[in-house]
Structures are given as structure tokens and as C-alpha cells.
Structure 1
């Protein structure tokens, strides 16, 4: 590129014109954009991201849980704050009295649940839920630690309760009732801690007036245990089926048992299996027996009228290995009826049929057992006009003494016979009975009954059961 240049020098007014070859220097590169956002935007973004994360894991500002400020904390940190606040509270036993800390009392609260409730209701991102209050604390105390700390602080307020006891006296278990002790109310202490925690107070005051402290082993528990033990005494024994083959005396049962209550006041029984084994060793001679037949009075139709002898089943005791240990376990559960391994041979039954047979022709009574005459004597039956009716009958109503009244069928005359002994009716108004007004037995003398000397009437009365068979024949 060429160009005409006019130059004026100072003091020189001449001009010149000439062609000059001029080359321009290359142009400077265009400046690069300045990326300030990399220096400013990245930290800001990080702050925003962090704030967003915090809003998702922190509790909103101004939030309280059980009266404890927990705003800006995670749920875990809030739980620690609540627990620490509770532990730091001092309890004064009366105005100006000795103090114990909540930590000394073993005080605790479900801080995690309270903190979780605060976070769930007021997370930081929810601006509308800031400055909210959550939770009513339920403080609990460690019973042993609280009692130890309070007793140490105010020993004069305490006396130990006396537990109820159960003991064996003579033939039964008896109860010695519990006696209350005294102490400071742990319920009052617990309530005072709850109030102080909610109000944000560092101290709490409790009335130190002693109150009754019940024994762990109560009278009611002892009476229930005693009643069960006495029930065990009543049923105690070794059984063969439903039959108590060998009874266990109350003192023996009590010697096998040790009755104790645990720390919770619950009674249980420790059982000496070795002592039971001594009783088990004697069982064969007490249990084994031969069968004995029962003996009953029956009618000719086979109906049982009465029992002369009960009889007994035969028994043979089986293997007793392990019986003592098993019975010990059973007694520990409160069951004193032990069923033995026994083979039973059922008793047989012998029936005796008794018959009062009257031969009107002979005017004689025969007493028969299973058809065999066992006794006989003269009687007086009804006169010809007032005969004793023949037939098969059975003994109905009876009485040891009666005034008899009636009308004779043969004469039509009314009669009254006082104090007739040993009366047994068998056919309407006809009966066996004693007769003291005559001694003409062997002849027909009555108005229809069968009478006999009073001593013999009593013998018949005692011998013949109700429902026994009667046979009247000519």
C-alpha cells in the first residue's frame, strides 16, 4: 500500500510530496472474555446446595421439643440436647433441702422420639413451621438408682418395708402380712422433673414428706400362694386312676417344698426330689393289692338293692423309675396329684338274692338267700275272712313304729292298734310287723297282715332291703 504524505516541520513551511511505502503492524488479538462466574458462581452454588441439604436434615429455627430449643440441629443432635438438659436438672428435697441430680436418679426420656417428632413437624425447609413447640415429656426413673440417691440424700425419710411371708404351721400354710415402709414419692420426683424440663428450669423442688412404700412381696400375693399350697395339701397323693391310692400328709408335702418369692414378688416352689424318692420307694407295699369281690343284695329280677361289701380292684405298681423327678416337676407347677403307672384288675361282684317266703298252709316264714333257707319261724297270717293274699311282691314303705288303724274285712269292725313295731308293707295295706298283743303264732290271727314276735320282726326288718322279694303262697 502506498500513500502521499504531507509533512510540516517546525519552522519549515515547505511542503513536499512523495510516495512512501508503509507497512502496518499486525492488529493485537481481541481480548478473551473474563469468566468471573467461575470465581464467584461456584462458591455461591456450593452455598446454595449446602443450604438446600441443611434444610432437608435440620430442624427449623425456633423449634422446641419438650421445652428444649432444638432449632438448627439434626434429629440426633436434638435428642442429645434433650437428654443432656434433663440430666442437668437438680432436684431439691424441700426448700433449701439436699439436692440430687436427674442423672443420679437415673432419669430418662424418649429423646429420640421427641426429636423425630420435632423434625417431622418442622424441618428447616418448611418456613411456615418455624418456631413450633413439640412433645410432652414422659420422664422415667431407674427405681433402684432413684431409691439409693434419695435415701442417701434424706435418710430419715426412709424405712424398709417388711415383705409378706408364707410358712407352714401344723397342717396348713399361713400368711404373715406385709408391713409398709416409708420413702420419698418417686412419682412426685418424676413429675417435678417433667415440669422443670418443659419450663426450661434447671432446678425442681419436691415435698420430702415420707409416704408409705409397699413391700415388693405383697400380702395379696402371699395369700394367693398360701391358698394354692393348701389346695395342693387337700389333693396331694399318688393316684391309681381316679382313686387316691396313697395319701401324702400335709407335713410330708411341706417338707418337700421350699416356698420363696423372687425380686418381683412372685412366689414359686423349689422341690426336693430326693425326699420324694424316699416315699416312692415305699409305694409297692402301699399300692399293690389283690382284688376283693363286691357283695350286693339284688332282687330276683337282677336289680341291685343295697351293697353289703364294696370290694376293691386289684393293683400292681409298674416301673417307678423317674417318678420322683417327674413328681417334683409337677409339684413345682402347683399340681400335687400324681398318677402312678398301675395295672388294675377290676373287682368282681357277687349278688345275693334275699327272699321272704310265707307258707300260709304251714303258717311259717322262710328267709332264703340265693334259694337257700338261712332262717325260719312261725307267723300269723290273715283270718279266713280277711286272708293274706298270695302272690309275688316286694318290700315297699317301712317304718320302725306305727299306730295301725283300719276295718276288719271279716267282721267289719274298726280297729286301732297303737305302737306296732317293725312294719314293712309289701301289698297295699298288707305288711310284715311285730305283734305284742298275742302269742298264738302258727295260727291265723290277723286282719290280713303277716305278724310275728317283735324280736323276729326286727330281725326281718334289718335283714330284708327295700325292694326285696316277697312270695306268699298256700
Structure 2
């Protein structure tokens, strides 16, 4: 015969459609006596009823955890399990207030447990009588349970303080969460399961409070504060890589609202109307005419200095959706907004400068791109201490220097204090101002090229380090 009768088959029996169940191999039927004609029908009815009952009922003495379900159908057992749990009384501390399983939203998969009881312990299986079905797992509705417990023992409950993010005037910082208190639902659930397993209709638990953390944690606040601080560092309207309109921390904060969602996570929202006030003034700050850049180079093409930085021309495009688009972008933590800009690239011109000394003329020529733009008399080295000819460049410079040495032509020592606007181009030979004579146009120095101090200052400002020098006769 079949070892297990399913709940569906049991329902068929209850409806009159009993399955074909054979209790033992068929034996030859004994010869019936007439008396059987008088009593056979009632006995048959009783026997059929017993067989049908054995196919739909759970075995006597069967319990789910500690809940008796013997002699019941699976549907009845389901109701018994759910009802027992709902009516279970929980006392909160000795002599304390009470709540029921129903108050706490206690639930269990009663249907599955009833099916398991019927499958494992059907009445027809005598060997399964007085058995226990384990596996009772109770769940509490967290919100409902805390509401009922708070009403019963309000002194054990304090609300946690959620973490927060605050603006300091220049940035953002996190304020830590503070734990509240409440009853431990895990311990309560375990106590309920233990009471049911013991067959009890009530349970007493120690109604002590435990720390209850805020769903909005300190770590959430710290992460959000870090995001907002990064936003301050990059906040602004950009034309390409250039932040043409920076947004200050104070203004950015005035646009933002920091909140939390249902899960406790922080949210960032921005007000498009507040952003619009800045958008209205963008054109005046973004639009600009192109400016040609001027670069000073050596004759070999090496860039020495930038005379004029130059700039690209810009014209701001359509601004109708900028405020709403930027507000939406800020809500994602991105504070760098790329503006729609038409750019006219700057032009660049280069200039080559040369300080040329004609020793035969005792004259200095200032040239730009080969054209003389200025000239004046100088004094180069005397016979025997001549200034060396050749192509050089300015190596280093000093606004003022004390000079001393021995003249190559006379062998006599010399000392000059506070020599102004010194520019070395060949070892110890340099351009500089000379305040001790006014005989320019004649060879007067010990090898340097000297000139009036005011003209030395002009050369000093005009020719940078690396600038070209040509000394010739």
C-alpha cells in the first residue's frame, strides 16, 4: 500500500472520492452466512467511515512543536497552529504588562506545518502516532511589534538620534548618530518559539532594553559630507576645462537641501529657481572677445616668456534649460556644469629679440624679428681686455652686484660696489650699468659691455634669460 497520503488525496476522501487504498493482499472471501444479510450493511458503513476518517485526519497525539493537532484535518491543524500563536500571551517581566502574539504581528507558515504533520503522521499509519513535527519558525512584524511594546512599556523606549550633515560656512561635516533604546525582538522571538515548543500558552521575558541604532548612520553622514565637500571644490560653470564662473560654498549651500529617504539614506536636492538667478548673469561673465597671444622666443625657436597671455573668444549658447539641468546634476553629487559655448580659438604670434653689439661702432642695437627698435652707445672692453665676439645668450642676472677683479690689460685690481642691472652672457662678461663714467661710445671696461644705468634697466626688462646676444666688430 502507499506509505503517504497527501493533503489533496485526503481532501478527495472528505469529498467522497476516496483513493483506491488496499490495506492487505486480498484473501478468498469466506462463505457468507445469512445473518450477514441483516448486519452486513451497518458494519460496512461503520468500517467505510473509519477508513475514510483515517485518510483525512492527522494521527492521534501528533503535535507541531508543542501545539496538539492529533485527530484534526490539515485545514483544522493550520487554524490551530495560527490560533495558538495569535493567542499566546507574553508577559514583559515578572508581573509586568502583557501582549499577545497577535499584538506583535507574530506569524508562522501554519499551512506548511499542517501539511508536514499530515504527511508525516496520517492517522492510518499507527507507527506515526504520538509524533512531533519540528521546524516552527516565528516571524514578528517589526513595526507592529515595536508599536505594541512601546505602548506596553514606554519607559524602555527612546528614539535614536539620526546622524546629520551640517554646513559650517566653508564646508560640510557629519554629526554622529546617537543610539536609542528598545526591546530586543530577536530575544522575544526566541522566547515565543520556546514557549510554543514547550506547549505553553504564555511566556515571560526579561523586559530589559537594548541599544537601538538609527537607520541614518554616522557612516552615511560622513560619506555625504565628503561628497558635498568634493562638490564645493569643483562647483561652477565650465567652458571646456576652464571654470569660468566658480560657485562659492555659501552660494552652493543656499541652493541645496539635504534630507533622508525612507531607508534613512541621505538625499541631495537643488532648487532650480535659486540656480536661475546665477544663470541670468552668465553671459556677462562668459562672453569675451579673442585676444592674440604674444610669445617671446629665441632665434632657435625656444619659447622664453609669454608677453601677452591671449584668450579664446567665447559666446554663451542657449541657457533656457541650464537651471533645471544643473539642479538635477547637483542632486547626483556632480557640481561641475559644462556650458554650451561657441569658442573662437586665440591666435598666437611669436617675437624674437636680439641684443646686438657692434664693437666697431661701440653701439648696442635692440632688434625684434630682425628690425631695430632702439639703439644707444655703449662702452666695451679696452685694448688688452677686449669684449669677446660671438653668439651668446643671457644666462643669469642680478639687479645689483658688487664687482671686483684684476684688469687683464693693466693687471691692476678694481672694485665697483652696487653695479646695477647685471646680465651675464659669456662667462664673467656681462651687460650692466656704469655710474662711474659718462664716456660711452669709447672702450672703457675691463671686458663687460656697460651703458648708462637707465638704459641698462631698459635692456634688463626687455631681454629675458635665454635671450640672444651677438657681439661682433
Flag whether TM exceeds 0.5 (same fold): yes
Aligned partners of 1:238, 1:459: CA distance in 2, in Å? 42
Aligned partners of 1:429, 1:164: CA distance in 2, in Å? 70
More deviation, 79-88/374-383? 79-88
Report the secondary structure of 1:285's partner residue.
helix
Q: Deviations over 1:286-326 (max 9, x none)?
A: 32221111222122233221112222111112222322222
State how 1:454-469 maps to structure 2 within 5 Å.
Answer: 454-469=453-468
Q: Quickly say closer, same or farther: Cα 1:178–1:384, change in 2 above 3 A.
A: same
- Residue in 2 aligned with 1:328? 327
- Residue in 2 aligned with 1:393? 392
Q: Deviations over 1:8-52 (max 9, x none)?
A: xxxxxxxxxxxxxxxxxxxxxxxxx7497996889868976886x
Report the secondary structure of 1:432's partner residue.
strand
Q: Is the 8 A contact 2:400 2:418 kept in 1?
A: yes
- Residue in 2 aligned with 1:135? 135
Q: Quickly say closer, same or farther: Cα 1:352–1:189, change in 2 above 3 A.
A: same
Q: Is the 8 A contact 2:116 2:133 kept in 1?
A: no
- Residue in 1 aligned with 2:342? 343
Q: Is the 8 A contact 1:59 1:123 kept in 2?
A: yes
- Residue in 1 aligned with 2:192? 193
Q: Is the 8 A contact 1:433 1:454 kept in 2?
A: yes
Aligned partners of 2:82, 2:283: CA distance in 1, in Å? 69
Q: Quickly say closer, same or farther: Cα 1:92–1:415, change in 2 above 3 A.
A: farther
How far is the alpha carbon of 1:155 from its aligned partner?
1.6
Q: Quickly say closer, same or farther: Cα 1:98–1:408, change in 2 above 3 A.
A: same
How far is the alpha carbon of 1:116 from its aligned partner?
7.2
Q: Quickly say closer, same or farther: Cα 1:296–1:204, change in 2 above 3 A.
A: farther
Q: Is the 8 A contact 2:378 2:449 kept in 1?
A: yes
Q: Quickly say closer, same or farther: Cα 1:415–1:323, change in 2 above 3 A.
A: same
Unaligned stretches of 5+ residues in structure 2: 1-30
Aligned partners of 2:433, 2:75: CA distance in 1, in Å? 107
Q: Quickly say closer, same or farther: Cα 1:50–1:83, change in 2 above 3 A.
A: closer
- Residue in 2 aligned with 1:11? none
Q: Deviations over 1:124-150 (max 9, x none)?
A: 57969994664373x443232222112
Q: Deviations over 1:232-279 (max 9, x none)?
A: 233222221112222233333333222211232211123322333333
Q: Is the 8 A contact 1:60 1:127 kept in 2?
A: no
- Residue in 2 aligned with 1:267? 266
Unaligned stretches of 5+ residues in structure 1: 1-32
Q: Looking at CA atoms only, which structure, 1 or 2, has the larger radius of gyration?
A: 1
**Pair 1:154-2:153 in alignment:** yes
Q: Deviations over 1:300-355 (max 9, x none)?
A: 23322111222211111222232222222212212122212111100111222221
State how 1:12-51 maps to structure 2 within 5 Å.
Answer: 34=32
Aligned partners of 1:76, 1:382: CA distance in 2, in Å? 123
More deviation, 41-50/295-304? 41-50
Report the secondary structure of 2:384's partner residue.
helix
Q: Is the 8 A contact 1:216 1:263 kept in 2?
A: no
Q: Deviations over 1:392-424 (max 9, x none)?
A: 222224445566677765567888877665443
Report the secondary structure of 1:327's partner residue.
helix
State how 1:73-472 maps to structure 2 within 5 Å.
Answer: 82-109=81-108, 122=120, 131=131, 134-135=134-135, 137=137, 139-400=138-399, 422-435=421-434, 440-472=439-471
Q: Quickly say closer, same or farther: Cα 1:370–1:134, change in 2 above 3 A.
A: same
Aligned partners of 1:399, 1:62: CA distance in 2, in Å? 111
The CA RMSD measured in Å over matched residues stands at 4.0
Aligned partners of 2:98, 2:458: CA distance in 1, in Å? 96
Length, aligned pairs only: 437
How far is the alpha carbon of 1:363 from its aligned partner?
2.1
Q: Is the 8 A contact 2:403 2:415 kept in 1?
A: yes
Aligned partners of 1:219, 1:356: CA distance in 2, in Å? 68
TM-score, length-scaled by structure 2: 0.76
Aligned partners of 1:387, 1:345: CA distance in 2, in Å? 53
Q: Quickly say closer, same or farther: Cα 1:155–1:436, change in 2 above 3 A.
A: same
Aligned partners of 1:71, 1:420: CA distance in 2, in Å? 119
Q: Deviations over 1:413-461 (max 9, x none)?
A: 8888776654433334433344566655433344433334555444433
Aligned partners of 2:74, 2:472: CA distance in 1, in Å? 112
Q: Is the 8 A contact 2:297 2:350 kept in 1?
A: yes
